[in-house]
Structure 1
Amino acid sequence: MNFCSNCGAAVEFRIPAGDSLPRHVCRQCGTIHYQNPKLVVGALAEWEDRILLCRRAIEPRLGFWTLPAGFMENEETTAQAAARETAEEACARIEVGELYTLIDVPHISQVHLIYRARLLDLDFRPGEESLEVALLREDEIPWDEIAFRTIALSLRHYFDDRRRGHWSFHTASLPPPPDWPIRPAA
């Protein structure tokens, strides 16, 4: 951040009085600009023994599979975000159930929340951010083509819990992948 979104003056990166972390602080009006983690919210939408997955039409991870999920918007609940993202990415209607996984991803300043959900009907199709959508059984999941570690972890918990016949709420904190940061090829 170089300039204040409040007055347009230059900002400096320093620890403001009464704080313990460096922040972008406006030199002119004194506005402190906090940068906090983003919430990524999605749904694990079930239909009988199948799960709704979307193949991404956008970066990052273009062409890889994921649950319908995305960044939470202001003035919505996390459950509303899960339903909205499912509608946007899969043009699907769901009944949002309980929060299923909460995964901290501190190296990219995100928190991922995945809800269990029930697909209300089979009227779905790819939204603008999806190349295709599909209902898949566990043995049909393209595990090597899952876009994000948080999604793979949520799916593994789901199928393990289903086999046990007992649903649990799962939390985790993911360390950076071994090749972090990913560097472009020379």
Structure 2
Amino acid sequence: MKLMTRRKPRVFLGALLVVPKTHMRKHLEQWGLVRKVELDGSLRASLQEIFSLPPACEVTNPKPDDLGLEVIVTSYQSGDFLDIELGEIGFPVFWRPKVTVVCRLYFLKSLETKCTFSITQKMAWNKFVARVFSWGTFSRRVVFRLDPIFDAEDMNHLLYLACHTMLKKIRNSVS
């Protein structure tokens, strides 16, 4: 029997944000002829599903060990494959899908930061090459540009992997 058992702190959700893309690659990644993929909303919806905690703004009398969690997708890229030609010389340009998630765990009462974490999750090279050069993807998405090569489902998968790693780190820091 333990005389001094430590109570685990309660964790509440502070903010969930997806920083919108502003660089040139945003336009290169969304140039499918049929439809453009809007990833900001999809990533935000996935974050809300992953971190289903009670909101921190509803805590009226926080205890000294109560914690708040802010989660931000600071950057993401959906990946693409281009063939650039300069006269008779051509070379491939490509980038893999990637998502970076940052979180801050803070004390609700004082708003002081307890710890921060940053996780970057990239698509594995073998999956990237298999997707780009599979016949269905290559003809429909790479040659004819009817759809983007990587879509919201691919990005959500990377987001889930990144958040899973982040939740392990958060659990270890709270325990």
TM-score, normalised to structure 1's length? 0.27
Q: As a proportion of its length, which structure holds more strand?
A: 1
Q: Bigger relative contact order, structure 1 or 2, given CA contacts below 8 A and separation 6+?
A: 2
Q: As a proportion of its length, which structure holds more helix?
A: 2
Larger Rg: 2
TM-score, normalised to structure 2's length? 0.29
